[in-house]
Amino acid sequence: MVFSVTAHAVVDPTPNQMGIYFDQNADSRSWNIGINIPFFLYVILTNPSAPEISGFEVGYWVDVAAGYDSNFYRLGNNLEKPGSDLGDSSNHMQGDYVVQFDEPVPAAPSVILVRWQYMLLTPMVVSLNLGPAVVQSIDDEYPAYYSEGSVIPVPMGYQCCLVNADCGLTEKVTSFGHVKSLYR
């Protein structure tokens, strides 16, 4: 498997951020997609402050209209770098990753952690969100990444990604509970 890092600038220059993006440069968090067209989404660590990344932990959940879960279909779920995953990402609607890479990855402005491929079976709006892993290294309600034996929290800012809508969050969110309250 090929590991992807890019040297391009990302939209948000804030250090130690993690988000879901439609592109490998971490520039696009919303996109309009038609039905029966496969598309990729990437979980990306942006602007890590550590010199290398040896793993990460992050939870995710997907919001769709009631009864439409089966119309948002995951075709692929791949770690971008070989490693051991102690999380459970088998459910396309919610899960987590707790990953230790086989080899550390050099830091870059955009470090791809996970690559998903999805397809819509009916026109719909989908919200994909990140938060803490189920079992956290530090109980702080944040995702994190590992570097040189340290756990580095990722105090999430804008972590939503929207299919067929504009993400448009204008405020930074500071906790997993706050993010979940935005979608109730």
pLDDT digits (tens, 9 = 90+) for 77-111: 999 999 999 999 999 999 999 999 999 999 999 99
Q: What is the pLDDT of residue 168?
A: 54
Question: Helices in the chain by DSSP H: which ranges?
Answer: 176-182
| Rounded-to-integer distance, Cα 127 and Cα 78, Å | 20
Q: How many domains does the chain have?
A: 1
- Which of 147, 156, 151, 157 lies closest to 138, judged by CA? 151
What CATH number is attached to the domain comprising 157? 2.60.40.680
Contact criterion met (CB below 8 Å) for 143 and 133: yes
Check residues 159 and 31 and name the one with the higher pLDDT: 31
Domain that holds residue 105: 5-182
Q: What is the pLDDT of residue 157?
A: 56
Handedness of CA 168, 172, 178, 179 (dihedral sign): positive
What is the value of pTM for the model shown? 0.83
Whole-number CA gyration radius for the chain? 15
Task: Tell me how many degrees the CA angle 156-73-81 measures, rounded to the nearest 5.
Answer: 55
Q: Which residues pair with 21 in a beta bridge?
A: 42
Would you say residue 165 has pLDDT above 90? no
